């Protein structure tokens, strides 16, 4: 500390190997990158949305087409999130708490939607349920519409968002093991009581985290939904689809008004995610020495 160059360091700096200048440059680069690629686009979205004033903004949002897209998006999100909640918990439970043949294969399968392009995911459903598809003739004969209707969009969204809940829960449940469940059962609890009184409270933050990400993706999904929706105006357009259509028709205010809703969803998701992550970390303070 007595040497002259030590004057430029605070005591805390000594534990770092990098000089302050280099650290500053690295941090500055990261911030700049975030500004250009994240903050700037967000500002553009909101600026464009409000470019003709508040009344134009709200008029754009209350148009029948826009309202229909919002309704459809909420409906699809409600269906796919609630189903994936159930599937995800069951899958995570099976993988984390039991040993069985083909477990690794199942884990890989759960990740499949992450590694497949969403467009391909959508196409799979076209191939299955389309007029020339596998189930097509049968569906037509019974007058059941899957493709270009709510069921098709829901199926594609469920497929694309399937991994989120399971992925959030598997490591958590594996870490927690089965001892608390065994304790509950030895104390006379039934399977359901064990699940609702012991397992669920232990995984609730992880579950919320998974549901949150699942919901964000379900509302924002474009590729897979675009393939199966048919783009029927006022009927099968979700919010992301409508954004694209309006944009292509040079209706920038309307387009960005809808986009701003999706952007707000993203921001809210981000905040809640941060809170949940903090909760999760607290929850993981080991209860054993």
Chain centroid to Cα 230, Å, comes to 23
| Beta carbon of residue 92, minimum distance to other proteins (angstroms, whole number) | 18
Q: What angle do CA 231, 151, 205 make, to 5 degrees?
A: 105
DSSP three-state, residue 253: helix
| Beta carbon of residue 163, minimum distance to other proteins (angstroms, whole number) | 26
| Beta carbon of residue 197, minimum distance to other proteins (angstroms, whole number) | 7
Radius of gyration of the chain (CA): 24
| Beta carbon of residue 282, minimum distance to other proteins (angstroms, whole number) | 10
Question: Which residues of the chain form contacts with other proteins (CB under 8 A)?
Answer: 179-180, 182-190, 193, 197-198, 201-202, 285-289
Which of residues 143 and 282 has its CB atom nearest to other proteins in the complex?
Answer: 282
254: left (phi over 0), alpha (psi -120 to 50) or beta: alpha
Which of residues 143 and 288 has its CB atom nearest to other proteins in the complex?
Answer: 288
| Beta carbon of residue 289, minimum distance to other proteins (angstroms, whole number) | 6
Which of residues 194 and 226 has its CB atom nearest to other proteins in the complex?
Answer: 194
Chain centroid to Cα 27, Å, comes to 28
Which of residues 21 and 285 has its CB atom nearest to other proteins in the complex?
Answer: 285
Which of residues 154 and 207 has its CB atom nearest to other proteins in the complex?
Answer: 207
| Short-list 189, 206, 187, 208, CA closest to 197 | 189
Which of residues 121 and 194 has its CB atom nearest to other proteins in the complex?
Answer: 194
| Beta carbon of residue 172, minimum distance to other proteins (angstroms, whole number) | 12
Q: Helices in the chain by DSSP H: which ranges?
A: 20-34, 40-49, 54-62, 64-97, 103-115, 118-129, 136-141, 150-161, 163-176, 179-186, 191-194, 200-220, 223-229, 239-248, 252-283
DSSP string, 215-240: HHHHHH--HHHHHHHTT-TTTT--HH
């Amino acid at each position: 500390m007595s040497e002259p160059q030590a004057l430029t360091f605070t005591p805390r700096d000594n534990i770092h190997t990098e000089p302050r200048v280099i650290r500053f440059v690295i941090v500055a680069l990261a911030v700049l990158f975030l500004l250009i690629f994240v903050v700037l686009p967000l500002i553009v979205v909101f600026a464009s949305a409000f470019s003709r004033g508040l009344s134009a903004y709200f008029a754009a949002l209350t148009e029948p087409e826009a309202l229909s897209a919002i309704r459809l998006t909420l409906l699809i999100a409600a269906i796919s999130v609630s189903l994936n909640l159930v599937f995800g918990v069951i899958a995570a439970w099976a993988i984390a708490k039991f040993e069985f043949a083909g477990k690794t294969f199942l884990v890989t399968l759960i990740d499949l939607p992450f590694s497949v392009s969403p467009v391909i995911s959508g196409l799979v459903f076209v191939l299955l349920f389309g007029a020339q598809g596998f189930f097509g003739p049968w569906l037509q004969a019974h007058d059941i519409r899957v493709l270009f209707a709510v069921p098709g969009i829901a199926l594609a969204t469920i497929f694309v968002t399937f991994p989120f809940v399971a992925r959030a829960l598997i490591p958590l449940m594996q870490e927690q093991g089965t001892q608390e469940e065994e304790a509950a059962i030895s104390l006379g609890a039934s399977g359901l009581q064990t699940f609702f009184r012991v397992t669920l409270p232990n995984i609730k933050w992880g579950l919320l985290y998974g549901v949150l990400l699942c919901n964000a993706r379900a509302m924002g999904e474009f590729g897979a939904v675009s393939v199966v929706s048919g783009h029927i105006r006022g009927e099968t357009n979700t919010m992301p689809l409508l954004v694209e259509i309006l944009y292509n028709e040079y209706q920038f205010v309307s387009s960005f008004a809808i986009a701003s809703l999706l952007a707000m969803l993203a921001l809210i998701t981000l905040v809640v995610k941060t809170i949940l992550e903090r909760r999760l970390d607290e929850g993981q303070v080991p209860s054993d020495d």
